[in-house]
């Protein structure tokens, strides 16, 4: 449907959640898949899922905070599949902590994983990226524009990611590379929701926040990621597209609804 057959995608944070959902969609579309994540057990399980869809898959254990490891990871990916067509920067970390209680180390940790990780991924991936034709997709979040309490670290990091998306659209657009973001709202069955809405009451409140009054699904985000990676989106760059049930329209007010 999206004509992605035979292309290669490199996904960070690809062993679980939204980004694994995207990897599965890409695998079903016939893409070669490179998964990078920290936890080797989760990575091995994810590789099995991807191969179950009939795709070739290389799984690389690494931390996106380690710039040198990211260089090595792209070399491994390129040795298997040649040039990379799509990079999905999905690795992220988050937890709830009010600003006055958050240690500077906690703030730095999330900035380093989220914003620093996206930079390290794209910086290392650049020389292996198809030019022209390459596509970058960063997983942002409503936190980039909505100042959620107890998430000063993620709010700041996701805002930084949005500017990375726009800056690379400007710098690499002339080379034929598109740079995009996806901002998923509350998505069911993800580690993010488990961390941010850990009780049934909190989950119900999260589901009521978007104007569509429900949680999204990983498939809904994956469909958007497939469209953005495809030639159907060939004139779209430098923008962060919400897949949030309209959460961004109501922001913090949605939490009261
Ligand atoms: N509340 C407050 N501060 C916290 C915290 C919490 N629940 N968890 C971590 N921190 C702070 C602490 O300051 C901690 O250092 P300290 O314990 O020495 O004070 C610092 O963050 C680093 O935490 P650590 O667990 O050592 O880092 P890590 O690199 O192993 O893990 C996290 C990174 C903290 C982001 C972890 O939650 C993680 O790995 N998350 C990935 C998965 C995820 O969050 N997915 C959802 C994305 S939306």
Q: What is the DSSP string of 139-195?
A: E--GGGTS--TTBHHHHHHHHHHHHHHHHHHHHHGGGT-EEEEEEE-SBSS-HHHHH
CB burial readout 26-59, b (16+ within 10 A) else e: bbbbbbbbbbbbbeeebbeebbebbeebebebbb
User: What's the CA gap between 240 and 192, in Å, rounded?
Assistant: 19
Q: Is 106 a pocket residue for ligand 1 (Cβ < 6 Å)?
A: yes
pLDDT per residue as tens, the chain (257 positions): 899 999 999 999 999 999 999 999 999 999 999 999 999 999 999 999 999 999 999 999 999 999 999 999 999 999 999 999 999 999 999 999 999 999 999 999 999 999 999 999 999 999 999 999 999 999 999 999 999 999 999 999 999 999 999 999 999 999 999 999 999 999 999 999 999 999 999 999 999 999 999 999 999 999 999 999 999 999 999 999 999 999 999 999 988 74
Q: What is the pLDDT of residue 1?
A: 86
Atom number, ligand 1, closest to the C-alpha of residue 190: 46
Question: Does the global pTM surpass 0.95?
Answer: yes
What number of residues does the chain have?
257
Q: What is the pLDDT of residue 175?
A: 98
Q: What is the pLDDT of residue 255?
A: 81
Residue nearest to atom 14 of ligand 1 (CA): 106
């Amino acid at each position: 449907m999206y004509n992605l057959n035979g292309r290669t995608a490199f996904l960070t944070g690809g062993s679980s959640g939204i980004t694994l959902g995207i990897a599965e969609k890409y695998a079903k579309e016939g893409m070669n898949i490179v998964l990078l994540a920290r936890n080797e057990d989760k990575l091995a399980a994810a590789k099995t899922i991807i191969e179950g869809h009939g795709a070739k898959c290389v799984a690389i254990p690494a931390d996106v905070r380690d710039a040198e490891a990211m260089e090595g990871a792209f070399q491994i990916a390129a040795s298997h599949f040649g040039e990379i067509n799509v990079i999905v920067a999905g690795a992220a970390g988050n937890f709830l902590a009010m600003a006055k209680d958050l240690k500077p180390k906690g703030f730095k940790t999330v900035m380093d994983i989220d914003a620093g990780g996206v930079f390290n991924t794209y910086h290392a991936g650049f020389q292996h990226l198809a030019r022209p034709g390459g596509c970058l997709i960063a997983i942002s979040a409503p936190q980039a524009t909505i100042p959620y309490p107890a998430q000063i670290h993620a709010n700041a990091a996701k805002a930084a990611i949005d500017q990375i998306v726009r800056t690379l659209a400007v710098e690499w657009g002339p080379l034929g590379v598109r740079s995009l973001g996806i901002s998923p709202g509350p998505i069911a069955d993800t580690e993010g929701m488990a961390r941010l809405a850990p009780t049934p009451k909190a989950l119900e409140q999260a589901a009521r926040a978007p104007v569509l009054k429900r949680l999204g699904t990983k498939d809904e985000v994956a469909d958007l990621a497939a469209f953005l990676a495809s030639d159907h989106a060939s004139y779209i760059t430098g923008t962060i597209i919400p897949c949030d049930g309209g959460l961004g329209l109501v922001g913090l007010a949605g939490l009261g609804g």
